[in-house]
Amino acid sequence: MTTTVADANEIVQQIAAETNTSADVVSKLYALTMAEFGEGAVVHDFVPLFAAKRVRAALRDAQKQLH
C-alpha cells in the first residue's frame, strides 16, 4: 500500500484544519516526518499513519507552549 499525492494532500488538509495551522507548514512538517520514518522502515504500509500522528502531536505541543 502506497500513499498517493491525493492521499497525502488530504492528510495535510485534515491536520491543518484540526490544528488550525497553515497547510504549507503542515505539508513541510509531514514531508520531513515521512522521510524520517520511511528511511529505516522495512514495511512502509503504516508510515503515513505514524507520520500524521507525529505531526499532529508536534503541532499540538507547540500550540500548548504558546499558551
Annotated domain spans of the chain: 5-66
How do the pLDDT tens digits run along the chain, 67 residues long?
567 888 999 999 999 999 999 999 999 999 999 999 999 889 999 999 999 999 999 999 998 888 6
What pLDDT sits at residue 11? Answer: 97
What pLDDT sits at residue 58? Answer: 96
The DSSP call for residue 45 is: T
CA distances to 2, 24, 48, 63, 65 from 5, rounded to whole Å, are 10, 15, 12, 27, 32
Rounded Cα gap, residues 51 and 28, in angstroms? 12
What pLDDT sits at residue 5? Answer: 86
Q: Is the dihedral of CA 12, 13, 17, 22 positive or negative?
A: positive
Q: Which helix (H) or strand (E) holds 40?
A: helix 23-40
